[in-house]
A and B are shown apart, each in its own frame.
Chain A
């Protein structure tokens, strides 16, 4: 079920492409749509700069879920009564909206999961564990989030597969020349993130897919960071699997997406079994449903699907060209300011050409936890720790870092406040 507002938004969607004349965001209008931004923390307006971790929700996302619970709440796919039909329609509408966002061939390629982590585990168990055998190789990058690393690592241990690492260069980027040397006839899967959640590096997914396919390897793309930051076209990338979480693109937690190319989905066996994923159950045997349902055992996140639809509509209505432009401008300001501080060490690409709105740094001599704690006093929310990338952090020779990550609603004032507040950290701790 779509709300009237959603339909209107839907009509305004354009297949946007990055444009040097990208329209500027109407920032105050955008900010007004996020109720949480009116919160004060320790007497300061909230500056939420932890968008790589999760994003805040616009009014339309919150309302879509409230509407669902107040008007249509019911389980999907089973009942014949009005509410059940509305719930099913609402759920399947989300699938279509995701297909549109990713430019998928069909919504039948869209499997709903609880998030990116579940999607990676699903591919590891349903596809890789059947398709790969001892002696095969999986290639990951050094910048992977634990969610796109640990499931592969564990599968390798189980099956006797080799796990190879594609190293990062001094700027935190991947070198395609090195890829040629790493890909071997035994490489059966390349698992990579489209954008690093720490370095902000934008990776050359399309080029990787081309080279991986030429030697018969499939490609899994972790789009958790990319999905709210850049337009994704799975047909153009030609990847085999792609995953993201709803809560990273201004949608709710508890829902994520695994997109699978049709020919690969046919090779996949169910991971979790139970209700909703069967076509027939006998006393000793069961037969599986076809399409995405085969991988969606149990009651799916129906209300979250309503929120996800609204979130994708919000993104497409705002337009990736203006989102990218805005986030690039803010990140550039942040890099310029932080680079002029002599005791700040920044990680990741120096040029915005290959960098998205994520900046990890350290204030020399102060533990990142302490930096984040003091910044919180000024209402600034940043992340401190290893950001679920311990392999990357040890490569960088670090235990932890402070990370700020911008979103569609952040302002220049917030970035400047962070830089100014670093002096407060120094005064207290240095």
Chain B
């Protein structure tokens, strides 16, 4: 797909006007992700109300694809339970990495990013925010295990 198609519409809008940008003052979970290939970096903050993602912020130092993906992810995460969001992350990454895999209805709002599947070098840019989220999921599970496992 051409650059015109990539850098238009939804992606460019998110890159230029990233949603949920910044830090949370007292996040329940924080994760940093780093792309060693280009030096792009990203910080993700989550605030939970029980297991629901109440608020989500990202701070990105990266290219427009990375920025747009983080912005779109933040919109998806808000209001979802951690379990549902983790499942979405799994589906998103699976579809992203398998060019021929079936697109899923779950990915409705993230579909514009799937256009980048043919640009292997940019898949890391798309994934960065989700890698940070997966780290938060791991931390969430550790916390839940601690609180549910009798000591």
Question: Which residues from chain A sit less than 8 Å from chain B, CB to CB?
Answer: 42, 366-370, 373-374, 376-377, 384-386, 390, 393, 399-400, 428-429
Closest to A367 in B: B63
- B62: CB under 8 A from chain A? yes
- B4: CB under 8 A from chain A? yes
Which residues on A sit within 8 Å (CB–CB) of B61? 399
Q: Provide the bound-state CA to CA distance between A386 and B62, in Å.
A: 12
Q: Can you list the 9 inter-chain pairs with the closest CB atoms, starting with the nearest?
A: A369-B63, A367-B63, A385-B38, A374-B3, A386-B39, A377-B3, A428-B7, A399-B39, A370-B64
Which residues on A sit within 8 Å (CB–CB) of B62? 367, 369
A393 touches B39 (CB 8 A): yes
- B137: CB under 8 A from chain A? no
**A367-B62, A367-B63, A428-B7 given; A373·B119 CB < 8 A:** yes
Closest to A371 in B: B63
Which residues on A sit within 8 Å (CB–CB) of B119? 373
Write the B6-45 contact mask toward A (1 if CB under 8 angstroms, else 0). Answer: 1110001000000000000000000000000111100000
A370 touches B7 (CB 8 A): yes
A390 touches B64 (CB 8 A): no
Q: Provide the bound-state CA to CA distance between A258 and B120, in Å.
A: 34
Which residues on B sit within 8 Å (CB–CB) of A393? 39
Q: How many residues of B contact A (CB 8 A)?
A: 19
Q: Provide the bound-state CA to CA distance between A376 and B2, in Å.
A: 9
B144 to nearest A CB, angstroms?
36
The CB with the most chain B CB atoms within 10 A, among A42, A376, A377, A399, is that of A399
- B65: CB under 8 A from chain A? yes
Which residues on A sit within 8 Å (CB–CB) of B122? 369, 373
A399 touches B40 (CB 8 A): yes
8 example contacts (A-B, Cβ-Cβ < 8 A) are as follows: A367-B64, A369-B38, A370-B7, A373-B6, A373-B122, A390-B39, A393-B39, A428-B7
B63 touches A429 (CB 8 A): no
Tell which of A369, A377, A400, A428 touches B65, judged by Cβ atoms closer than 8 Å: A369
- B82: CB under 8 A from chain A? no
A379 to nearest B CB, angstroms?
12
Closest to B61 in A: A399
A385 touches B39 (CB 8 A): yes
A429 touches B64 (CB 8 A): yes
**A367-B62, A370-B63, A370-B64 given; A428·B4 CB < 8 A:** yes
- B77: CB under 8 A from chain A? no
Which residues on A sit within 8 Å (CB–CB) of B7? 370, 374, 428-429
Tell which of A367, A368, A385, A428 touches B3, judged by Cβ atoms closer than 8 Å: A428
Interface residues of B in 63-89 (CB under 8 A from A): 63-65
Q: What 16 additional pairs, Cβ within 8 angstroms, besides A369-B62, A369-B64? A: A366-B64, A367-B62, A369-B40, A369-B65, A369-B122, A373-B3, A374-B7, A376-B3, A377-B4, A385-B38, A386-B38, A390-B39, A400-B40, A428-B4, A428-B8, A429-B7
- B56: CB under 8 A from chain A? no
Which residues on A sit within 8 Å (CB–CB) of B64? 366-367, 369-370, 429
**A385-B39, A386-B38 given; A377·B2 CB < 8 A:** yes
Q: Provide the bound-state CA to CA distance between A356 and B40, in Å.
A: 28
B38 touches A384 (CB 8 A): yes
Q: Provide the bound-state CA to CA distance between A376 and B62, in Å.
A: 19
Which residues on B sit within 8 Å (CB–CB) of A385? 37-39
The CB with the most chain B CB atoms within 10 A, among A42, A393, A429, is that of A429
Q: Provide the bound-state CA to CA distance between A400 and B37, in Å.
A: 10
B107 to nearest A CB, angstroms?
23
B87 to nearest A CB, angstroms?
30
Q: Provide the bound-state CA to CA distance between A390 and B40, in Å.
A: 12
Q: Provide the bound-state CA to CA distance between A385 and B3, in Å.
A: 18
Which residues on B sit within 8 Å (CB–CB) of A429? 7, 12, 64
